[in-house]
Structures are given as structure tokens and as C-alpha cells.
Amino acid sequence: MATTRLSGSSLPVLQRLFSRNGILPIFQRTFCKVPPEDPTQAEEAKTIEQEKLGDSNSTADTPVKESGVKEQIEAQDPKVLSDNVSPDSSDTSKAEAVQETKKPVPSQEKKLTKKEETQKKLRDLLASLATVDPLSVESTVKLTRPKPRPKKEAKVKKEEDLPPPESYIEPELVSATKEVAESLGGDTAATESELLSTLRLHSSDAPPHTQAAASLSELFVGMKIERSPNQGETAPIQHKHISPEADPRRQPDANTRRRKLSRLSPERPIPKTIQRVDLFGAKPLGIFTSKCSKSEDVSSILPVWEALHEEELKRSMSHPPDNAFVEMMTWTNQGKLWTFPIDNEFGLESEKKIGFHEHVFLERHLQGWCPPLGPIRHFMELVCTGLSKNPYITVERKRAHIEWYRNYFAEKEGLLKEIGAIQSSN
């Protein structure tokens, strides 16, 4: 609000609003450019304006803008014409001009000269406009300013600067104290002595700040001080963060004194002791120890609940993947995602080393146990051809198949001999 740009047209309005002469009613203000009816009225308006300018200059630094509008405005207001004709004008040159123009209306012959005169005056006015300092709206406008707060340091200095007060108490004060004591009643002598002592304190030669300290300390004497029960047993303190208030090494300042006072009041209680940290009070978490002893509580009736809780803990400790690429990498490592480019023989790398002869020539595995003739041999040869044609299974599996049959037929040897499938004579 202090620094607002004011347009040219609004300045005269403001001027009129905040002028010392008085706040004009709004309905009388006109902004339309109406030419004056008579040249006389115009002259009068001009004179009035000059007067007003003179007044405003005397009272406050007025900005003077284009006066044409002003004149027209002034012409409309009858009140202005009546009110603002004031003889008080400090500016002598303008006063003279005013006096000159106050003469009665001249004849037409002189009008021309008058016109010239008025023009001259206008010119002078305009010239004067330039020299006149611009109006500082701030001075006229009432703006809120911050309240001057009392500074203690300044106060102390002031007190020091002041001459030292008299050591003795004035007799008038003494009599006054006597009267007060009597009026209060009770132990008049005691009250009187107290009053006198306080007066002496205030009027002593000692410097004021020590005086104040003395008074404060005396104030404390009567009051009770908070004492926490754990004050005596201060264990190894962990100085996490001691606030400047709680720091015991701090020198007593005015602020500390203030805070001491506040400590006693229940509004702002400041803790005296620092919180002790008990390291071995609770059960250890076991984060850094290798012993992972899972205590299986058999008494638990909610195994699902506990299992889910464990899973949640695991999830909380593990971090989710940063992006999709990391996710795919983890899946690949777990075996959920195929490696690219896709290899059909993934997981069968060792098979590349094994030659085709081991896959195809499987009859050698029949040596030793299989009879050379008979239905069993026939069957086993079919099995071998079938296996040899299969490229998808490993050699070990093929051998396992043949071994299985060996065991199977070995179990049924008795039956087979009875039937005559195996020739017992060989």
C-alpha cells in the first residue's frame, strides 16, 4: 500500500480526499471534462486552485499535475469556491497573484490582457510545478508500522547513561510509606520497613543490572525450586543433542533468567535431566549375529497367521526391483524367465560333449544278463531301438530304463522259466 503507483487522474482525487482542508463529499466530485461556463468562473476557479495549492504547499508537499482538469472540477463545486477561499498562504508570490486576481471583473478591453495575465500565471504555475517537490503519499496516507518493541540492551544503556539516583530516600516518600503502612493495618512497623527497604534498593548507588540481579535472586529465595528425583544418579550420559537451553555450560543471560522464571511457571516445563539409554533392557534383535535360532512355538494356535507375518517381514526387508529390467534379471536368475536368445537345449549343455554312439548303440548294456534268444531278447532289442531313436532324454536315463527291465525280469525269473521264456539249460 505504501508504494502504489498512482495515475495522473487519480492524484488530484486523492489530493482532495486527503487534504487537510477537509474530505469532500463524493457526489460533488466530477471526472468529466466540462468547460467552464464563464471565463470569470474559470478565473475564479484558477485563483481558488492557486490558493488551494498554496495551502497544500504550506501544509504538505503536494504533487502538481496538469491543472486543467482540476480547474474544471473546481468550477463545478460551489462548496469549494466558498470554503477554500482562505487568506493564509505562505507563498508570497502566489499570494500577490491571488490578490491581483481578486479585483473586480474588468471591462472587455482588459479581458485580453487579463487573459494574457492568466496565461502568464499559468506558465508561472507550471514553472513552479517543476520546482515543487512531489507529494509523498506515504506522509498523508496512514500506514501500519511495526510497534517499537522495547530493547533490553538499549534500556540498560539508558539506565547507565542516566545520572545515579540519590542514596537516601526523600522525606516525602518516607511519610508516604508511613501513611500506607497505617492504612494497610496489621504490623505497621514491619510493612513500613519492607517498603523502605524496597525503596532503598531502587534508589541505591549500585549499577542497575546488578540491582536487578539482586532483586531477582531475592525473589528466588522465597520460591520453591523444582527438583527431579533422578538428579543424583546421572549415569554415563549420551549427548545426543543438547539444546542451547539445556546446556549447563551456558553463561547466564537475560534470556536464561527469563527462562528460569518460566521454568517455575507450569506453562513451559523444561526437563532438567537427559534421558538415560538402557542398552540391555530389551531383547536383542539379533541382526548382526549369525545364530538364526528360530524358536518354534508349539503353543501357537495360529500357524497361518505367523507364517504370513514372517513372509511380510521378509518382504519388508527385501527391496522391490527398481525397474522392469531388474525384475526380469531376478526372474532369470531364479529360473522363471528363459534366457534370450532362446535355446531349446537350455540345461543340456553337458549333452553336447556326449557322442551319438552312446545314444544309439545300447545293445552292449544287454550283455551279461539278457538271454541271446527268446521273447525277452526280442523285447529288449525293441526297447533299445526305441531308446536310440529318442534324442530328448539323456544317456543316463536310457541306461536306467534298461536297468529297470533287468531288475523286473530278474524278479520274474521263476515264472519265466516255468513258461519256458528263459531256457534254464543255458
Q: Which stretch binds other proteins (CB under 8 A): 52-60, 126-134, 253-261, 375-383?
A: 375-383
Distance CA 169, CA 203 (A): 7
**What is the separation of C-alpha 223 from the centre of its chain, rounded to a whole number of angstroms?**
41
In the block, cell 463545486 appears at: 77
Specify the residue, 112 or 400, whose C-beta has the smaller distance to other proteins: 400
If binding is defined by CB under 8 A, does position 308 make contact with other proteins? yes
Instruction: Compute the least distance from the CB of residue 381 to other proteins, in Å.
Output: 10
End-to-end CA distance of the chain: 126
Helix and strand totals (H; E) in the chain:
18, 0
If binding is defined by CB under 8 A, does position 334 make contact with other proteins? no
Task: Return the axis-axis angle of helices 39-59 and 108-131, rounded to nearest 10°.
Answer: 30
Instruction: Compute the least distance from the CB of residue 324 to other proteins, in Å.
Output: 14
Per-residue contact flags (x/-) with other proteins for residues 404 to 423, judged by CB under 8 A: xx--x---x--xx--x-x--
Among 200, 315, 378, 417, binds other proteins (CB under 8 A): 378
Q: Is 216 helix (H, G, I), strand (E, B) or coil?
A: helix
Who's near 93: CB < 8 A, 6+ residues apart?
Answer: 124
Instruction: Compute the least distance from the CB of residue 378 to other proteins, in Å.
Output: 5
Instruction: Compute the least distance from the CB of residue 313 to other proteins, in Å.
Output: 15
Specify the residue, 69 or 416, whose C-beta has the smaller distance to other proteins: 416
Cβ 73 vs Cβ 12: under 8 Å: yes
If binding is defined by CB under 8 A, does position 383 make contact with other proteins? yes
Q: How many Cβ atoms are within 10 Å of 268's Cβ, its own excluded? A: 10
The C-alpha R_g of the chain, in whole angstroms, comes to 57
Among 235, 326, 382, 410, binds other proteins (CB under 8 A): 382
Instruction: Compute the least distance from the CB of residue 298 to other proteins, in Å.
Output: 5
Site for other proteins in 206-245 (CB under 8 A): none
Distances in Å between the Cα of 209 and the Cα atoms of 161, 162, 213, 261, 296 are 13, 13, 6, 17, 72
Q: Which stretch binds other proteins (CB under 8 A): 13-21, 130-138, 327-335, 376-384?
A: 376-384
Q: Which stretch binds other proteins (CB under 8 A): 89-97, 126-134, 239-247, 398-406?
A: 398-406
Instruction: Compute the least distance from the CB of residue 349 to other proteins, in Å.
Output: 23
Q: Is 84 helix (H, G, I), strand (E, B) or coil?
A: coil
Specify the residue, 194 or 312, whose C-beta has the smaller distance to other proteins: 312
Instruction: Compute the least distance from the CB of residue 380 to other proteins, in Å.
Output: 10
Residue type, 66: E
Among 16, 121, 359, 401, binds other proteins (CB under 8 A): 401
Among 304, 323, 325, 345, binds other proteins (CB under 8 A): 304
CB-based burial label for 48 (10 Å; 0-12, 13-18, 19+)? buried
Among 26, 221, 282, 298, binds other proteins (CB under 8 A): 298
Instruction: Compute the least distance from the CB of residue 413 to other proteins, in Å.
Output: 11
Helix (H) or strand (E) holding 81, with range, is helix 78-83
Among 216, 219, 254, 307, binds other proteins (CB under 8 A): 307
Q: Is 58 helix (H, G, I), strand (E, B) or coil?
A: helix
Give CA angle at 15 (12, 18), nearest 5°: 150
Residues that bind other proteins (CB under 8 A): 298-301, 303-304, 307-308, 375-376, 378-379, 382-383, 400-401, 404-405, 408, 412, 415-416, 419, 421
